[in-house]
Chain A
Amino acid sequence: MKIYGEYLRIESRKDEDIIDITGLLFEVVNRSGVNDGIVTVYTMHTTTGIAVNEGEEGLTRDIVKFLSRLVPKDEDYMHHHFFREDGRMAVNAWAHLRSILVGMHTSLPISNGKIIIGMRQRVFFIDFDGPQARSIYIQVIGI
């Protein structure tokens, strides 16, 4: 059995950005040499998320808008105080909470060297507190 992994950088370009990373998963699976197994993508940040859904532009905007409505910025969050270990104020509880709702990873099956994914399904990286340079880890396990 092989275990193969890569760290990749994603650069979000907006404060709330949804980025299609499906192609990156295919590329890593190709490089891994795994024919049958599973690929997992995991975000390294607590204010970002990983989601699988349709890539229609209106829908991607709806996703971001819905989460913003569900977890608004202007609430009274206990997270918003000074973090001595970081030397800065925490002011983005809403981004953490949206991240929890979306989840931080997803896994997809691999068969005959290809990721099994629905015709309309895409894998998205969502940044809730951009623009920033972010890191994801993609791991492929199989034979």
Chain B
Amino acid sequence: MYTMGYSMSIVDFHIHPVNLEELHRADPNLTSALRDVYGLRIGLQPLKVFVNQLRFFGVSKAVILGLDLSRTYGVKLPSNEDIARIVSMHPDLFIGFMGLDPLKGDEALSKCEKFIDKHRFKGVKLNPALQGFRPDDERIYPVYELLEDLGAILIVHMGFSWNIHSNLTYSYPLLIEPIASKFRELKIVLAHMGWPWIWESICLALRYENVYLDTADTFTGTPKDHLKKVFVETLGVSFVKNFLRDKILFGSNHPRMESGKVLEAIRVLPIEDEIKDRILGLNALRILGEVSTP
């Protein structure tokens, strides 16, 4: 049985708090938006039960993501104000990342300043495939530049999505290369390891110090099946250990997949405990600036 050794902290870097009962009670349209736009039909859970879920599975920090679909679908899943409220209720547990439409020009820039400076959000979540933009569109560069100046982290959906509204052309990992190259101080997390374009994602993570990968979701079976395919059968354990040990972050993509199930899948991987510690928490704490480089 694996026990946490080095960092003693588990950070889930990829959570969408979209099935919280309190949010749906406050906004009756959220349930239909969740189903019709986000493609998710799921039971609602009160915040206290969600907090207990995370604590039960040993998650000590949880990155919760906003998603701004106001231009494309007229909804926010959820809004930055909701993210701020959830963080304020459990500041020891939750870390806020804002949703943003980067094509909104000055409005986008002022929102970044507001939520990152004033509300102490740590970064921005973008989903080009669902938000309908090319991530390498130069009109967006002022946003990337501001995020770099603010020391914020960009987490960007890359790779597959079951959501039929998504344009997968915009989630091809190599579209991020010009941004990674131009904004070298901007930490960029390629969500889902860009599956199935894993090697493209890894190219960027190997080439650029500022690019990271998260493990969120499971596309080919249970989390145990999927992560075994990725880490053991596709990449190989020694490659993960020697090349990617500081690059991979544990993320679940809750509620599409519960945090505890992805966590367990990482815990049983046949890799060394020290590497698991880095994936489960230490790498996240490092890019969040909460620990120095090991």
Contacts and interface: CB of A to CB of B under 8 A. Distances in A.
Interface residues of B, number: 32
A112 B245 CA distance: 68
Given A80-B222, A132-B45, A87 B256 contact: yes
Interface string A10-23: 01011100000000
Interface in B124-171: 162-163
Given A13-B52, A89-B218, A133 B256 contact: no
Nearest to A88: B256
Contact of A15 (B21, B38, B56): B56
A86 B45 contact: no
A91 B56 contact: no
Contact of A86 (B40, B48, B260): B40
A87 B260 contact: no
Contact of B221 (A80, A85, A130): A80
Interface in B24-54: 35, 38-46, 48-49, 52-53
A87 B255 CA distance: 10
Contacts of A72: none
Interface string A32-62: 0000000000000000000000000000000
Contacts of B224: 74
A55 B29 CA distance: 44
A86 B56 contact: no
Interface residues of A, number: 19
Interface of A is mostly: loop
Interface of B is mostly: loop
Contact of B49 (A11, A15, A81, A88): A11
Contacts of A91: 218, 221-223, 257, 261
A15 B260 contact: yes
Contact of B256 (A11, A74, A89): A89
Given A87-B39, A88-B40, A88-B257, A13 B46 contact: no
Contact of B222 (A88, A89, A131): A89
B232 to A, nearest CB: 15
B45 A133 contact: yes
Contacts of A89: 217-219, 221-222, 256-257
Given A15-B56, A91-B218, A86 B49 contact: no
Interface string A104-143: 0000000000000000000000000011110000000000
Contacts of B255: 88
Given A11-B49, A82-B162, A88-B256, A131 B56 contact: yes
Interface of B: 21, 35, 38-46, 48-49, 52-53, 56-57, 162-163, 217-219, 221-225, 255-257, 260-261
Interface of A: 11, 13-15, 74, 80-82, 84-89, 91, 130-133
7 contacts: A11-B48, A11-B49, A86-B40, A87-B38, A88-B255, A89-B221, A91-B257
Which 5 pairs from chain A and chain B are nearest by CB?
A87-B40, A87-B39, A91-B222, A88-B256, A133-B49
Given A14-B56, A81-B221, A131-B56, 16 more contacts: A82-B162, A86-B40, A86-B41, A86-B42, A87-B42, A87-B162, A89-B217, A89-B256, A91-B222, A91-B223, A91-B257, A131-B52, A132-B45, A133-B21, A133-B44, A133-B49
